[in-house]
Amino acid sequence: MDAAEFRRRGKEMVDFVADYLENIEHRRVYPDVEPGYLRSMIPSEAPLEPESYEDVLRDVDRVIMPGITHWQSPHFHAYFPSASSYPALLGDMLCGGLGCIGFTWAASPACTELETVMLDWLGKMLQLPEDFLAGTQGQGGGVIQGTASEATLMALLAARCKTVKCVQESDPQRSEADIISKLIAYTSEEAHSSVERAGLIGGVVIRMVPTDDNFSVRAETLEKMVAEDKAAGFIPFFFCATLGTTPSCAFDQITELGPLCNAEKIWMHIDAAYAGSSFICPEFRPLLDGVEFADSFNFNPHKWLLVNFDCSTMWVKKRTDLIGAFKLDPVYLKYDNQESGLVTDYRHWGIPLGRRFRSLKMWFVFRMYGQSGLQAYIRKHVELAKVFETLVRKDKRFEISAEVVLGLVCFRLKGSDELNEALLKEMTRLGKIHLVPCKLRGRFVLRFAVCGRTTELRHVQEAWQHIAELSSELLQKHRS
């Protein structure tokens, strides 16, 4: 493909994507394929000779589209949203075109510098404490990680490193292996599995902290666990708080947990993967109160802030805690002005060396929506969730299972888990709307998340009508 063909095909591809997104609601949201469906549809080896673009595109329709779960459909209500917007898609296209890899400042100065400034812009939108911003002289700053899972892992590893150093300062004879074997991290029993996974990867014990009636971790509970562990000779070193848990969008009480962590020298990381985007609205910002006690904070603009995957933003108060933990300086990565102090090398902030120019899509989105456009987007989703909640509450066959704070509604048919499982199974079989379940206090609960950029009131009403009708059929069947 030469430049002339790329121009033509590129324009066609933009049309293809725009047509797809414009007409997405007419597709079945959940695919009707069986595991292994794809292998038999394409050859078992790559072609020896080049094929035509037409052939490739034909197979996109034939092979790929039948196996797509349409995350951008207004009928998609599963998990949490996966953000998408035209400005972000264009920013990403430019990123692919430039094809630069920004592991050091010198490897592509704009790539590094825009990232630092975008993280400051976003940090200011969230009203993060000044400590988390890089500015020109700050000790903190932000980085784009691929996912919230990576951010949690990086925070845990940095905390591990900091604690080992700290213990060895007072007890130089103690080996790193011995200290690590005594470390204990904590997170909510409602936290995302990625936190437990960070513990497994980081080789430290993670204890799950029980939650209160609102599925929130309280300081009193953590305090008791920390005291117990210290008395048994362990070293509490890390607590991952969640703002907006995956099952029910619950919020740990960080205003009381923060001071406890600070007093106990426990690194507090905040995982606000989904809910974080809402903090740009003044009315939801109180949910972030207590962030001033945290050592690190992360959320995913790629969930709810119209920036396509991947874009998980993480801030630290003292960037040397993170950078210093894993710093290596091979000669092929050195450059003039490396020690200017004016810029950072993002290769020190995460696991990969290579990194894409992801801040471009943030810049496009922030400028083309403006803060007011982004706030309006969040507010609309929250309002739609409230509409759905009201519809559920009006139907006496159902119950709401957790407080509805943002764009997620947890609900269930009054009755057995089996009944609710059967309802979800039927929804999935029909593929008109897509939801996933969760367990709350051991009970099977349905989660309705407002996800799509184009989800409107009518989609929410239609979704509810569909659920109510399926429930009537199901209850009728159970009675007869």
Chain positions contacting ligand PLP, by CB under 6 A: 79-80, 147-149, 192, 194, 242, 244-246, 271, 273-274, 300, 312
Element (H, E) at 78: none
Measured CA to CA, the distance from residue 70 to residue 67 in angstroms comes to: 9
Q: Nearest distance from residue 80's CB to ligand PLP, in Å?
A: 5
**Minimum distance of ligand PLP from residue 294's CB (angstroms):** 15
Q: How far is CA 100 from CA 7, 123, 145, 334, in A?
A: 21, 25, 17, 17
Q: Which two tokens stand for residue 444?
A: 């099977």
CA dist 34 to 27, 38, 346, 423, 437, Å?
18, 9, 42, 21, 21
CA distance 395 to 454: 26
Least Cβ distance, residue 192 to ligand PLP (angstroms):
3
Taking the least distance from each CB to ligand PLP, the nearer of 120 and 271 is 271
The whole-angstrom separation of Cα 368 and Cα 287 is: 27
Please give the Cα distance from 414 to 130 (Å, whole number).
Answer: 48
Q: Minimum distance between the CB of residue 365 and ligand PLP, rounded to whole angstroms?
A: 18
Tokens 């993170």 belong to 322
Tokens of 251: 């919020």
Cβ density class 70-95: b for 16+ within 10 Å, e for less: bbbbbbbbbbbbbbbbbbbbbbbbeb
- The distance of closest approach from Cβ of residue 272 to ligand PLP in the complex, given in angstroms and rounded to an integer, is 7
Give bridge partners of residue 476 from the DSSP assignment. Answer: none
Angle at 149 between CA 143 and CA 150, to 5 degrees: 45
In the complex with ligand PLP, which residue's Cβ is closer, 120 or 310? 310
Please identify, using beta-carbon distances, which residue of 278 and 300 lies nearer to ligand PLP: 300
| Nearest to ligand PLP of 148, 365 (CB atom) | 148
Tokens 């993060």 sit at which residue?
128
In angstroms, give the least distance from the CB of 298 to ligand PLP.
Answer: 8
CB closer to ligand PLP, 112 vs 313: 313
User: Which of 451, 419, 454 has the alpha carbon at shortest distance from 435?
Assistant: 451
* Residue placing its CB nearer to ligand PLP in the complex, 116 or 300: 300
Output 87 or 244, the one with its CB closest to ligand PLP: 244
Give the nearest distance from C-beta 217 to ligand PLP in angstroms. 13
**Contacts (Cβ under 8 Å, ≥6 apart) of 189:** 208, 209, 210, 211
Residue closer to ligand PLP by CB (options 191, 392) is 191
The nearest distance, CB 247 to ligand PLP, in angstroms, is: 9
At 292, which amino acid appears?
E
- The residue whose two tokens read 């945290």 is 294
Whichever of 61 and 403 has its CB closer to ligand PLP, that residue is 403
Q: What angle do CA 298, 321, 114 make, to 5 degrees?
A: 55
Pairing of strands 443-449, 436-440: antiparallel
- How far is residue 241's CA from residue 216's CA, in Å, rounded to a whole number? 9
Strand partners, 316: 141, 296
Torsion of CA 26, 30, 31, 36, to 10 degrees: 160
Q: Please, what is the minimum distance in Å from the beta carbon of residue 146 to ligand PLP?
A: 8
Question: Closer to ligand PLP at the Cβ: 300 or 471?
Answer: 300
Residue with smaller CB distance to ligand PLP, 79 or 86: 79
Nearer to ligand PLP, 301 or 318 (CB): 301
Provide, rounded to whole angstroms, the least separation between the CB of residue 270 and ligand PLP.
10
The structure tokens listed for 288 are: 């972030």
Residue with tokens 């929804």: 427
Q: C-beta of 147: minimal distance to ligand PLP in Å?
A: 3
DSSP-derived pairing of the beta strands 183-188 and 235-242? parallel
The tokens for 11 are: 């324009």
CB of 388: closest distance to ligand PLP in angstroms?
A: 19
